[in-house]
Structure 1
Amino acid sequence: MNTPNRPAQHGHDQHEPDKAATADEYWEDFYRDRVWSGRVNPLLEREVRDGVALPPGTVLDLGCGEGADALWLARNGWRVRAVDVSATALRRGAEHAAEQGVAEAIEWERHDLARSFPEGTFDLVSAQFLHSPVAADGEREAILARAAEAVAPGGVLLIIGHAGWPTWMEEPPADIEFPTAADVLAALGLPAPGWDVERAGLVSSEVTGPEGQPGRREDCVVRVRRTG
């Protein structure tokens, strides 16, 4: 995971949520302690290197957290708009960008994506692990529909999400429904002329638990390209 489970704009592993908390409150509390791993989501890296088939251009990173994906993209030549609801996470991401010498390649914007959305269109729109225990019904689907609108002609929308909890996890920390690839495509409602579905399915990966437990996890990968 980028790696926590984000709200309709995040991707990081959860603690027990306060159901009455707003997205701002929940994610500010989440980032009260530093979450940073510095590692790009390996599925994003693989898809961008092997599947997106675009020269580095502009990319919108929705739910960027502390910025590991954004920094990797910037180091690989992309111009990044990195978006998150947590001001703390954005500040840390900007600090890491300055440390790595890619500050000029990344713009950091604060948005609660259920209420505001970045302007413009992008060659790549990345939505990684947009799972939230405090999201309202239909919120994630509405955000992904907006994400599709932000894809420039010829560009790619890349959505990666969990398909379930890791096998070593006996008591999941939050009650979250994980959508299938078919669910994601149905929510997007993309017109057949104008979009190509290049990938829609599951990827199984080895994952190690916090106490070294071996296990596996399935993630859902959807990659669609705007052709019109």
Structure 2
Amino acid sequence: MSEDTHAAGPRPTGREYWEDRYRESERIWSGEPNAALVAEVGGVQPGTALDLGCGEGGDAVWLARRGWRVTAVDISEVALQRARDGAARSGVADRVDTRRHDLAESFPQGSFDLVSACFLHSREDMPRERILRTAASRVAPGGLLLVVGHAGHAHWEQEAEQQVALPTPPQVLEALHLPQQEWQVQRAEEREREHASAGGHHADSVVKLRRR
């Protein structure tokens, strides 16, 4: 393969990358909610939720079926349409509001009882730390911020995936720059989970905070 940058063409934007990724197949995720979300939010009184990087809507539908009113955000319109379809099939379309945002450029307004950012990673340039600080600002008093990520890379990942930064829970907390008097750390740990697929990971980084 030539390394000539002109021959390679321009680098795709974040939106182009994710639209192409979702178009590759009819579904790329399992459709099931993330295990960490279920464990950390399953017993919480429903309210309003903001699901950042909602993908095909597995988390959003799970929350809506438990009474949450969910604003589901993604950069990909293909993913959002699948999320809408999934919400309709589950009978919760009236409780899932899908919105397209490139979180590096725009962000939903308002405050939420839960702000969830599960596996908000990207090979493309993405100001993840700034996005998560903005996410924290959207948490209502008494509400929760949940940040879940991969805890380390799998050995089979491609070189481009290996270059994606995967911060530890302490690093996530440090990058958030949250005033201790305003926030209570309820969880900051790496958690093993069952290996679901050849592209999956064995452990998650879980950070859960409550706004006082």
Contact 1:19 1:134 in 2 (8 A): no
The DSSP-based 3-state class of the residue aligned with 1:131 is: coil
The 1:202–1:19 alpha-carbon spacing in structure 2 relative to 1, beyond 3 Å, is farther
Structure 1 residues 21-40: aligned runs within 5 Å: 21-32=12-23, 33-34=25-26, 35-40=28-33
C-alpha distance 145-170 of structure 1, shift in aligned 2 (>3 A): closer
> What amino acid sits opposite 1:91 in the alignment?
Q
In 2, Cα distance between equivalents of 1:26 and 1:160: 22
Aligned to 1:93: 83
Matched, 1:189 2:174: no
d(CA) in 1 for partners of 2:55, 2:116: 13
Verify the 8 A CA contact 2:71 2:97 in the aligned structure 1. Answer: yes
Alpha-carbon distance between aligned partners in 1 of 2:157 and 2:145, rounded to the nearest angstrom: 33
CA distance in 2, matches of 1:170, 1:191: 36
Question: Residue 59 of structure 1 is aligned with which of 44, 49, 55?
Answer: 49
Normalising by structure 2, report the TM-score: 0.89
Match of 1:4 in 2: none
> Do the aligned residues in 1 keep the contact of 2:54 with 2:73 (CA within 8 Å)?
yes
Q: Which runs of 5+ in 1 are unaligned?
A: 1-17
Tell me if the contact between 1:166 and 1:207 (Cα under 8 Å) persists in the aligned partners.
no
- Matched residue, 1:223: 208
Decide which of 96, 99, 104 is 2:94's aligned counterpart: 104
Aligned partner of residue 225 in structure 1, secondary structure: strand
Map Cα deviations across residues 53-77 of structure 1 (whole Å, 9 max, x no partner).
Answer: x310000000000100000000011
SS at match of 1:148: helix
Tell me how far apart the structure 2 counterparts of residues 19 and 75 of structure 1 sit (CA, whole Å). 42
Percent of paired sites with the same residue: 52
Q: Which residue matches 2:6? A: none
Structure with greater Cα Rg: 2
Structure 2 residue runs of 5 or longer lacking an equivalent are 1-8
In the superposition, the TM-score normalised over structure 1's length comes to 0.83
Deviations 1:90-138 (A, max 9, x none): 01110111111100001000000000000000000000001111024xx
Structure with more of its chain in helix, by fraction? 2
Structure 1 runs (4+) greater than 6 angstroms displaced: none
Q: Is the 8 A contact 2:123 2:160 kept in 1?
A: no
Shift of 1:210: 3.1
Structure-2 separation of matches of 1:107 and 1:117: 14
Query: Following TM superposition, by how much is the alpha carbon of 1:37 offset from its aligned partner in structure 2, in angstroms?
Result: 1.9
Q: Are residues 209 and 82 of structure 1, via their aligned partners in 2, closer, same or farther at CA, if it must alter by over 3 Å?
A: closer
Name 2:74's counterpart in structure 1.
Answer: 84
**Is the partner of 1:193 in helix, strand or coil?**
helix
